[in-house]
Structure 1
Amino acid sequence: MSNVSYYTAEGLKKLREELDYLKSVMRPKASQDIAEARDKGDLSENAEYDAAKEAQGLLELKIAKLEEVHSNARLIDESQLDVSKVLVLSKVKIKNQANGMVLDYMLVAESEADLKSGKISVTSPIGKGLLGKTVGEVAEITIPNGTIKFEILEVSRD
């Protein structure tokens, strides 16, 4: 069964670029590495050849996985999303009720999550807890070390 993944235009572009890079740059390099190792003599005792073949196998596995992800990727139509509640691609400002800390996050598909840039996955505990909430609501989110309450201060889209 296929696993459909939803992407923003930016995320889908990055996926395509990575796949193209692996196919057009890394695949020929792996073949070249094998050819160079093969030219060094007896293959039965050639560790460099074995390592190059193994690296090629791992590369082909990665390419196959990315091709599968790409074939099951769907572009999110932002114009169809409700802007009044927290959904995928929402920018949300939340306030931790325990310590008063205000946080800004953007909810994205799991494959595009990057905490350093403020993008959290809709499948993460916080992402799941925020989904469907509107401004003024309090989300009680269970995390590994307890429960946190976040008040939704603002929901927007870019």
Structure 2
Amino acid sequence: MATKKVYELTQSGLDQLKKELQHLKDVRRVENLEALKEAREQGDLSENADYDAARNEQARIEARIAEIEVILKNVKIIKINDDSTSVNIGRAVELLFVEKNETKKFHLVGTIEADPLNHKISIESPLGKAIKGREVGEVVTIKSATNKQSTVKILSIN
């Protein structure tokens, strides 16, 4: 028997997914149906690029809705332990990248919520794995997937 995949999310990540699902169902689906209707009115569907584009968009919308619904059925909410003094999922950390003498703040999240452009990194990423369980003041060497090494010092955990 196959085991179900469990998706770990913070409460804010769960709320964001629910909001995306609602938007897809209430807004994007309706917009897409209107685009399909307009494309059909143009006549011959066999050579209608607008119709093809609308059908492709419909497939993307429905696939994302199905994906989110699977995640929501198999979600595990991550409880954030505010008493802990170590780095873990759901916590925000400020790191000093020693070689660059640069500080950055990151929020550690599950893989589904990861968004590096918004400083949300997965606890499963090389950086996340390296700092997990560590405490303020510790210096950690991180090895990337390309074998590049860098050193970080944990400045704060919130």
Fold-level match, TM-score > 0.5?
yes
Count of aligned positions: 155
Give 1:127 deviation, angstroms: 1.0
Aligned amino acid, residue 93 of structure 1: E
CA contact (8 A) 1:129 1:141 kept: yes
Instruction: Output the CA distance in 1 between the equivalents of 2:101 and 2:45.
Output: 65
RMSD of aligned residue pairs (Cα, Å): 2.3
The runs of 4+ residues in structure 1 deviating greater than 4 Å are none
Of the structure 1 ranges 95-104 and 129-138, higher mean CA displacement relative to structure 2 is found in 95-104
Would you say 1:32 and 2:34 are equivalent positions?
A: yes
Q: Which residue of 2 aligns with 1:129?
A: 130
Q: Which residue of 2 aligns with 1:119?
A: 120
Counterparts in 2 of 1:116 and 1:61: CA distance versus 1, 3 Å:
closer
CA contact (8 A) 1:37 1:46 kept: yes
Q: Which residue of 1 aligns with 2:66?
A: 64
Q: How does 1:6-155 map to 2 (within 5 A)?
A: 6-79=8-81, 83-143=84-144, 144=146, 146-155=148-157
Counterparts in 2 of 1:141 and 1:24: CA distance versus 1, 3 Å:
same
Identity of aligned residues (%): 36
Instruction: Output the CA distance in 2 between the equivalents of 1:37 and 1:99.
Output: 54
Counterparts in 2 of 1:77 and 1:37: CA distance versus 1, 3 Å:
same
Of the structure 1 ranges 127-136 and 43-52, higher mean CA displacement relative to structure 2 is found in 43-52
CA contact (8 A) 2:36 2:55 kept: yes
1:45-71 CA distance string (max 9 Å, x none): 433323322221222112111221222
Unaligned segments of structure 2, at least 5 residues: none
1:36-95 CA distance string (max 9 Å, x none): 22222233343332332222122211211122122222221224x661211112222333
Counterparts in 2 of 1:45 and 1:141: CA distance versus 1, 3 Å:
closer
Of the structure 1 ranges 121-130 and 137-146, higher mean CA displacement relative to structure 2 is found in 137-146
CA contact (8 A) 2:36 2:51 kept: yes
SS at match of 2:99: coil
Unaligned segments of structure 1, at least 5 residues: none
